[in-house]
Structure formats: structure tokens, C-alpha cells
């Protein structure tokens, strides 16, 4: 796994550039590190007396990008309130199957527990709650698209379930209608498989990246924009989509 790095740090707030495969908090069934533990370790490398950071929001284990933690109690209260009141804006990059004809749109649906799949959600599921997701088509390919997505509410698997409901599931997301992985052989005409060697996927985790968070600093009120660069695997998928699935009029 790529070593996680801090994108922002001060006495009140920390932002982690979370790699895919790292859970936000510790999972009950494993002893693997969580993002919370990693952040605390990074803080203690600089200050052995650094307090344990506090979780204020989460992103899926297989999603990469910006993840915020509060260091002070004052910041924890303000950030929790900011997420609750939708004052903190999150922007994701999503590679999806299919190309929406519209340039942008909004998905408003009730998301609730999927009784047939514990831990997952569905539109109209049990104990459903309203969700609002805004999206914009940033780039189009033959059979695929790159979307900028802004969830206005914070429901479990909101982006994944909402885009699937719209008809454009994440390119890699088998739980919600996407594929298991993205292979170059699916994109490149005349692809020749190497003998006695399995093909390595371009992207083998959720095709979702938490690109940016905009917020007022929880203590000073200063406007902050914290951004995560596109990770290598996501960038590699984009590279080959642009090379082999570019629209004719874009060439």
C-alpha cells in the first residue's frame, strides 16, 4: 500500500490523503491499521504527546482521497456541525460506465438498508432517508465518462447507489452494477495477451476519488480548499480511456 501522507495539518485539523484499501476506522474483523491509527502515528512522529484525532466523516475503504480528522474538541464540534448542516463541500471524481447525454444533473432519492445485502443500500430500501447528489460530466469517452460529483447529503454509499440508480454505475464497483476491474484488453483494439502471464488490471478498486474538500476552518473561519492529486491507478485508467476510447470529434 502507498504510504499515506498528510495534506493539511494544524493544531485543530488534519487532512489525510487516504490511499485505497485503508479503512477510515478499524474494521471489527481485522487487525489492519485504519486511517485513524495512521493519522495518529503521523502526528506522534512530530509530537510524541499529540492527542488522538477524532473521526468527523468517513469515505469507503476502496475510495481514495481527502479524509478529515479533528485534533481539538473545538474543531470536532465545529466540523461535525458543518457536515450535518451541509456547510462543507466535497467533490469526487467518478469513472462510470456509460456516457450521460446531459452535461449535469441532480439525483434525489431515498436510500435505505438493502435487506438482502447487509451493509449495502438501495433506493427505497428499509428506513430510507433522502439523499441529494449533484453531478457534472467532466469528460466523455466511448462507453464511459468521468464525472465530478458533489454529495449534498451524507448517506452510506450515496454516490455509488445514486449513480447506479441513474443508470451510470461506477466503472469498477461490482456491488452496485460496475465491473470487478478495468482491463486494458477491454479498451485497446487488437490487444495481445502475454503468454503465461495474467493480465494486470489498470484499476482494481472503486473508481471513485475524493478530490477536494472546501470548508471554513473550524476555529479561525479561514476558507480552506484541501485537494488530493489523482492517484496513479486512477490516472492510468484515464490515460488509456483517453488513448483508446476518445470520442471521434475529440481526436
Q: How many helices (H) and strands (E) does the chain have?
A: 4, 11
Rounded to an integer, what distance in angstroms lies between the CA atom of residue 67 and that of residue 47?
Answer: 21
Tell me the C-alpha distance between 89 and 223, whole Å. 12
Radius of gyration, CA atoms only, the chain = 19
Alpha carbon distance 43, 134 (integer Å):
35
CA separation for the pair 200, 219 (Å, rounded): 46
Taking the C-alpha atoms of residue 2 and residue 64, their distance in angstroms, rounded to an integer, is: 11
The three cell numbers of residue 47 are 509530537
The dihedral region occupied by 232, where left means phi > 0, alpha psi between -120 and 50, and beta the remainder, is alpha
Q: Kindly tell me the burial class for residue 219, based on how many C-beta atoms sit within 10 Å of its own C-beta (0-12, 13-18, 19 or more).
A: middle
Whole-angstrom Cα distance, residue 130 to residue 128? 7
Catalytically active residues, by annotation: 60
Amino acid at each position: 500500500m502507498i504510504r499515506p501522507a498528510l495534506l493539511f495539518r494544524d493544531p485543530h485539523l488534519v487532512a489525510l490523503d487516504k490511499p485505497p484499501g485503508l479503512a477510515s476506522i478499524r474494521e471489527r474483523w481485522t487487525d489492519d491499521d485504519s486511517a485513524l491509527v495512521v493519522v495518529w502515528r503521523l502526528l506522534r512522529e512530530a509530537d510524541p504527546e499529540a492527542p488522538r484525532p477524532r473521526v468527523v466523516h468517513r469515505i469507503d475503504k476502496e475510495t481514495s482521497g481527502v479524509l478529515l480528522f479533528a485534533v481539538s474538541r473545538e474543531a470536532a464540534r465545529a466540523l461535525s456541525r458543518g457536515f450535518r448542516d451541509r456547510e462543507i463541500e466535497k467533490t469526487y471524481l467518478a469513472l462510470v460506465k456509460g456516457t450521460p447525454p446531459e452535461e449535469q444533473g441532480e439525483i434525489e432519492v431515498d436510500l435505505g438498508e438493502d435487506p438482502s445485502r447487509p451493509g449495502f443500500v438501495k433506493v427505497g430500501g428499509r428506513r430510507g432517508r433522502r439523499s441529494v447528489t449533484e453531478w457534472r460530466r467532466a469528460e466523455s469517452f466511448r462507453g464511459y465518462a468521468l464525472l465530478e460529483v458533489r454529495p449534498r447529503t451524507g448517506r452510506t454509499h450515496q454516490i455509488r447507489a445514486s449513480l447506479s440508480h441513474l443508470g451510470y454505475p461506477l466503472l469498477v464497483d461490482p456491488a452496485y452494477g460496475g465491473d470487478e476491474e478495468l482491463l486494458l484488453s477491454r479498451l485497446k483494439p487488437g490487444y495481445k495477451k502475454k503468454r503465461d502471464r495474467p493480465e494486470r488490471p489498470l484499476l482494481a478498486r472503486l473508481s471513485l476519488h475524493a478530490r477536494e474538500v472546501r470548508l471554513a476552518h473550524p476555529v479561525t473561519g479561514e476558507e480552506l480548499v484541501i485537494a488530493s492529486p489523482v492517484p496513479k491507478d486512477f490516472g492510468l485508467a484515464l490515460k488509456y480511456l483517453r488513448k483508446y476510447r476518445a470520442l471521434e470529434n475529440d481526436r
